[in-house]
Amino acid sequence: MITYEDPNFHYRVAFNQETGVYIRTSVLDKNNQQTDLEAFRGSYPHLLDVGIMGHCKHGLSGKCLQSGVQCYQSGDTKQMPHMTFDNFKQLIDESKGKTFQIALGGRGDPDQHPDFLKMIKYAKENNVVPNFTTSGYGLDLSILPQVKKYCGAVAVSHYRSVYTTRAIQGFLSHGIKTNIHFVLSRDSIDEAIDWIENKKIPKGINRVIFLLHKPVGRGSMANVLAFNDPKVKHFYNLFNQEENCLMAGFDTCTAPALIHFAPKIAQSSYDTCEAGRFSAYVTPDFKLLPCSFDGEEYYGVDLNEYSIGEAFNSGLFDTFRSRFLQVELTENSENKRSESICYTCDHQSLCMQGCPLMKSIVLCDDLQQELSRKELV
């Protein structure tokens, strides 16, 4: 068990390296007693999403399209070098004792990185638990004993393929905690409903994690879920049943939908977007972003010039964090907080207006109607 007390924002964190359980207290008073105030951010990211892959293995980008997955990293068009081991080592050296987990990814499957085994070994030896997501395409099953030794968990992207099934079976046969990442879109919503209603999640899987489709990179706007789609309501309604909650998990982008459609879920279990607050993304060319979905790298800070701590506490990151505290429905600089429906909503503190980068994916009827009205002005 690792414990940490934030020196600036006065709360405590505990992380169990074996189970992955992460607990964060509310803000502490001068007597070190918990208050009713939830911590808004940390001094340093507790989770780092690390894009070690700069380009796809030859052929994988085509596999994405064949499987119905629209790569938000634009793996078929963007090509850059992979992250170097020296940069990765620098990242771990600075982060140990403050960052508890890293999620390896990037523009391709991280297990295809030439230094993958060195990276997961170095992270674990420095008390930073590595996890990674893979399609399974080209996965070398001979490395799985080392994955078991060094990694906390893995996720297999649902590519509807032989190599996906092979990867899942390989991980499970080695006793590795395995999740499935399922991208939830207009094209896949029927399949997602079928999986839950008819209990089609593969035996042995820890959870199916449903990730909202985003209109970033190769992701099309046409595939974004709509709040008023009856299928969307039906899907999320399924999680008012406790047995279904035990089968699944969701990315934090989903919080508004769960609040509206699955009210029987305990509100204490909600976790809204942590980008730039308790997590951040490192690009293959060593920039820090609040979130990997900042495709234009508008909020990027070069880690060749600044430390992670300096970048995380920079003015750019402060600007990003301010988007959780205001709703920018237009470019009109005269927009005032009082004009937004979110500040009269009982759930504002739970979802913080949803995604600060893409309001189009926020599954909230009130916000979508407000956006539509503003577009007509």
Lowest mean pLDDT among 70-84, 100-114, 269-283, 298-312: 70-84
Rounded to whole angstroms, how far apart are CA atoms 108 and 57? 7
- Look at residue 260 in the predicted model and tell me its pLDDT: 86
For the chain, percent of residues with pLDDT exceeding 90: 55
DSSP secondary structure letter of residue 275: B
354: Cα separation from own chain's centroid: 13
Cβ–Cβ < 8 Å for 208, 179? yes
- Look at residue 335 in the predicted model and tell me its pLDDT: 41
DSSP secondary structure letter of residue 39: P
Q: How many CB atoms lie within 10 A of CB 369?
A: 13
Nearest alpha-carbon partner for 192 in 237, 133, 154, 142: 237
DSSP secondary structure letter of residue 159: -
Lowest mean pLDDT among 127-131, 205-209, 257-261: 257-261
Beta strand 154-157 with 178-184 is: parallel
Question: pLDDT, tens digit, for every residue of 19-56?
Answer: 888 989 999 998 889 998 889 999 999 999 999 999 88
Domain boundaries, the chain: 47-315, 328-376
Question: pLDDT, tens digit, for every residue of 173-201?
Answer: 999 999 999 999 999 999 999 999 999 99
Name the superfamily (CATH) of residues 47-315. Answer: Aldolase class I (3.20.20.70)
- Look at residue 377 in the predicted model and tell me its pLDDT: 37
Rounded to whole angstroms, how far apart are CA atoms 36 and 316? 29
Based on the number of CB atoms within 10 Å of its own CB, is 141 exposed (0-12), middle (13-18) or buried (19 or more)? middle
Rounded to whole angstroms, how far apart are CA atoms 72 and 293? 7
If one compares 375 and 110, the residue with the highest pLDDT of the two is: 110
**Neighbouring residues of 173: CB distance < 8 A, sequence distance ≥ 6:** none
Rounded to whole angstroms, how far apart are CA atoms 252 and 236? 14
**Neighbouring residues of 113: CB distance < 8 A, sequence distance ≥ 6:** 52, 53, 82, 83, 119
**Neighbouring residues of 353: CB distance < 8 A, sequence distance ≥ 6:** 323, 324, 327, 340, 342, 359, 362, 367
Question: pLDDT, tens digit, for every residue of 94-150?
Answer: 999 999 999 999 988 999 999 999 999 999 999 999 999 999 998 999 999 999 999
φ/ψ bin of 240: left (φ > 0), alpha (ψ from -120 to 50), beta (otherwise) = alpha
- Look at residue 75 in the predicted model and tell me its pLDDT: 53
For the chain, percent of residues with pLDDT exceeding 70: 84
Q: What angle do CA 60, 61, 62 make, to 5 degrees?
A: 90
